[in-house]
């Protein structure tokens, strides 16, 4: 491969945060006129690589080359001058201003020192016509759908940079038709010779639009391949690093079918979040949820818990129809939820271990039944011991604990409320091996005690180890339910990759 082949290239890029190597000697090359998909699970290093390519981060080793010449990109605006434009998942435009102003902000045409609105709007109309978008350029951007805003963002990026376009999960909040619309735009740009990096979690979309794919895992480059030579299963295998030949049924006994139904969800779903699903959960059952990131795993947990209320279907708790509109409804019915993003949504960093443990119980008791300090200490102490929380004191701020211990604190918080149904979203991510084992042990113990659980995890071996049943999510849809002897990581990978509706373009 000749050097001049790539418009934008990263060679041997290294990025270290503290003592964690986020990117290790990664090579990446982008040709003009191609759509290049960048894939990898959370923490694989995708966003770090993108931030280096857009100048938001500086690499600690290796170099960035534009048209074969080494460049140093100081910030995203500087990258723009080399023709590199980015469109982020969350539209980074100004919803309060007009479409035209969003296209030209900072570059508005002027007459006698004043902004020439007539010309700006005419230019905007002409520009948007290239994208087959016929909207009033003087209308407020925020009144348009996210898809239109994305196209405006793309138009701005292409207008200002015009060589490389980086699309960072642009489809995450679009529905099917809108995605198709966006893809037409992307195809048009590709035909005009732009080099496009496309990041997504949706495999279907990768196969629908991309020419080549680069897979990262744990900060290292796994491979860059021509997409037409790959099957879905190949791609999933590259991403998860699971060998399908890996086999062996699990040691989960096709359990003494617990027959007492606790929860029943019928055609339960939420627009733009999860397609309607049916799921019955028995007492003493652990439902594992498998799927790639962005497949709707967390969304399922959130609508079950009422964090994002469902807008269709019905839920039954103990056989009675129940409305789960708010998290307090769910808690009243004995639900508990340990979210994926521990730092942002789980722990209250500045409060003590004790306060973090009792807070959900206190919430359940209400305003007038305050737990006094002794009761709090008793409860916190009990769980601290049962869960083996390693803290110097129950009064130290929880943010000073390790990730594993924080996770145990959150688990204790819900266990203190004596839940009937516990949802765990990625309970073992980013924690050390010891705490990992402790949490898996706790899950098994709770199941034996008759608690129902829904556990989301990317660690297939782990899901297999403790689940009674496994549901597989793909593209916001519950696509398979695996039970008993069927369960092994190979089958799960196939279920994730399997594809039935449309043929690969």
Partner 1 sequence: MKRSLRPLAATAAIFLIAYAVSVLQFPGMLSTRVLGNFLTDNAFLGITAVGMTFVIISGGIDLSVGAVIGFTGVLIAVLISWLGFHPLVAFAIALGVAALFGAAMGVTIHYLQVPSFIVTLAGMFLARGGASVITQDSVPVNHDFYSAISDLIIRLPGGGRLSFIGLLMVAVFLLGALLAHRTRFGSYVYALGGNPVSASLMGVPVARTTIQIYMLSSVLAALAGIVFSLYTSAGYPLAAVGVELDAISAVVIGGTLLTGGYGFVLGTFVGVMLLGLVQTYIIFDGTLSSWWTKIVIGVLLFLFIVLQRIIFAASAPGEESPEKV
Q: For residue 16, count CB atoms less than 10 angstroms from its CB and return exposed for 0-12, middle for 13-18, buried for 19 or more.
A: middle
Q: For partner 1, which is the closer residue by CB, 325 or 390?
A: 325
Which region among 89-97, 220-228, 251-259, 366-374 touches partner 1 (by CB under 8 A)?
89-97
Assess 135 for contact with partner 1 (CB under 8 A).
Answer: yes
The reply on whether position 94 binds partner 1 by CB under 8 A is: yes
Q: Please work out, in degrees rounded to the nearest 5, the angle formed at the alpha carbon of residue 207 by the alpha carbons of 128 and 156.
A: 20
Nearer to partner 1, 62 or 276 (CB): 276
Check binding of 81 to partner 1 (CB under 8 A): no
Q: Which is nearer to partner 1, 179 or 480 (CB)?
A: 179
Least distance in angstroms from the C-beta of 88 to partner 1: 8
Please answer whether residues 116 and 109 qualify as being in contact, where contact means their C-beta atoms are separated by less than 8 angstroms. yes
- Structure tokens belonging to residue 145: 């759908």
Among 10-18, 174-182, 192-200, 333-341, the segment contacting partner 1 (CB under 8 A): 174-182
Stretch that binds partner 1, among 41-49, 87-95, 279-287, 326-334 (CB under 8 A): 87-95
Q: How many residues would you count in the chain?
A: 505
Helices 232-240 and 489-497 pack at an angle, to 10 degrees, of: 130
The answer to whether residue 390 forms part of the interface with partner 1 (CB under 8 A) is no
User: Which among 18, 7, 17, 69 is positioned nearest to 47, based on CA atoms?
Assistant: 17
Give the interface size with partner 1 as a residue count (CB under 8 A).
34
C-beta separation of 459 from 428 below 8 A? yes
| CA count, 13 A, side-chain hemisphere, 80 | 10
Q: Is 142 in the site for partner 1 (CB under 8 A)?
A: yes
- For residues 177-196, which are near partner 1 according to CB under 8 A? 177-178, 181
Measured from the CB atom, the residue of 171 and 468 that comes closer to partner 1 is 171
Dihedral angle of Cα 79, 49, 221, 22, to the nearest 10 degrees: 140
| Helix, coil or strand: residue 439 | helix
Q: Which of 95, 188, 193, 434 binds partner 1 (CB under 8 A)?
A: 95
Q: Residue 233, class by beta-carbon neighbours within 10 Å (0-12 exposed, 13-18 middle, 19+ buried)? A: middle
Which residue stretch of 114-122, 186-194, 395-403, 422-430 sits at the interface with partner 1 (rule: CB under 8 A)? Answer: 114-122
Interface with partner 1 by CB under 8 A: which range of 23-31, 113-121, 315-323, 448-456? 113-121
* Window of 90-98, 221-229, 394-402, 447-455 that interacts with partner 1 by CB under 8 A: 90-98
By CB neighbour count within 10 A (0-12 exposed, 13-18 middle, 19+ buried), where does 38 fall?
buried
N- to C-terminal Cα separation, the chain: 27
String of DSSP letters for 390-440: --S-TTSBGGGS-HHHHHHHHHHHHHTT--SEEEEESTTTT--HHHHHHHH
CA distance 281 to 265: 9
Query: 239-278 mask for partner 1 (x: CB under 8 A)?
Result: --------------------------------xx------
CB of 93 to partner 1, least distance (A): 6
172 binds partner 1 (CB under 8 A): no
Which one, 147 or 235, has the nearer CB to partner 1? 147
**Phi then psi for 270, rounded to 5 degrees?**
-145, 135
The CA distance from 136 to 414, in Å, is 51
Query: Which of 17, 74, 105, 246 touches partner 1 by CB under 8 A?
Result: 105
Note the residues at the interface with partner 1 (CB under 8 A): 76-77, 80, 92-97, 101-102, 105-106, 108, 110, 113-115, 117, 135, 140, 142-148, 156, 177-178, 181, 271-272
């Amino acid at each position: 491969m000749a050097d001049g082949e790539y418009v934008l290239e990263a060679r041997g890029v290294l990025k270290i945060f503290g003592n964690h190597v986020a990117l290790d000697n990664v090579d990446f090359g982008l040709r003009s006129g191609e759509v290049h998909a960048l894939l990898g699970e959370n923490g694989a290093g995708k966003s770090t690589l993108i931030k280096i390519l857009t100048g938001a981060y500086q690499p600690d080793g290796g170099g960035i080359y534009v048209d074969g010449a080494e460049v140093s990109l100081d910030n995203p605006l500087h990258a723009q001058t080399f023709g590199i434009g980015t469109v982020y998942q969350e539209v980074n435009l100004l919803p309060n201003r007009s479409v035209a102003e969003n296209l030209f902000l900072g570059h508005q045409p002027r007459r006698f020192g004043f902004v020439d609105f007539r010309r700006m709007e005419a230019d905007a109309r002409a520009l948007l016509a290239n994208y087959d978008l016929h909207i009033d350029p003087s209308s407020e951007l925020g009144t348009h759908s996210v898809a239109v805003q994305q196209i405006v963002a793309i138009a701005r990026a292409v207008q200002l940079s015009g060589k490389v376009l980086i699309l960072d999960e642009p489809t995450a909040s679009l529905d099917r038709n809108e995605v198709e619309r966006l893809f037409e735009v992307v195809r048009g740009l590709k035909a005009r010779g732009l080099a496009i990096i496309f990041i997504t979690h949706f495999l279907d979309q990768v196969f629908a639009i991309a020419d080549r794919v680069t897979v990262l895992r744990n900060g290292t480059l796994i491979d860059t391949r021509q997409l037409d030579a790959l099957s879905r299963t190949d791609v999933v295998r590259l991403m998860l690093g699971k060998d399908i030949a890996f086999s062996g049924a699990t040691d989960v006994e096709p359990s003494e079918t617990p027959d007492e139904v606790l929860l029943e969800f019928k055609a339960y779903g939420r627009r733009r979040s999860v397609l309607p699903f049916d799921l019955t959960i028995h007492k003493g059952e652990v439902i594992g949820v498998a799927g790639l990131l962005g497949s709707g795993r967390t969304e399922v947990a959130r609508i079950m818990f009422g964090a994002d209320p469902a807008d269709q279907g019905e839920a039954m708790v103990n056989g009675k129809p129940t409305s789960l509109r708010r998290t307090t409804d769910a808690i009243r019915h004995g639900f508990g939820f340990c979210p994926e993003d521990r730092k942002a949504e789980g722990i209250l960093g500045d409060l003590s271990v004790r306060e973090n443990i009792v807070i959900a119980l206190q919430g359940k008791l209400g305003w007038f039944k305050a737990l006094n300090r002794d009761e709090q200490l008793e409860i916190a102490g009990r769980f601290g011991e049962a869960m083996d929380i390693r803290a110097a004191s129950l009064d130290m701020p929880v943010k000073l604990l390790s990730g594993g211990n924080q996770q145990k604190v959150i688990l204790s918080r819900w266990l203190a409320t004596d839940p009937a149904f516990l949802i765990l979203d990625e309970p073992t991510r980013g924690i050390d091996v010891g705490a990992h084992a402790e949490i898996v042990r706790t899950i098994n113990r709770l199941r034996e005690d008759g608690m129902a659980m829904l556990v989301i995890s990317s660690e297939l071996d782990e899901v297999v180890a403790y689940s009674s049943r496994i549901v597989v999510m793909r593209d916001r849809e519950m696509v398979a339910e695996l039970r008993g002897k069927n369960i092994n990581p190979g089958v799960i990978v196939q279920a994730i990759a399997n594809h039935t509706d449309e043929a690969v373009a």
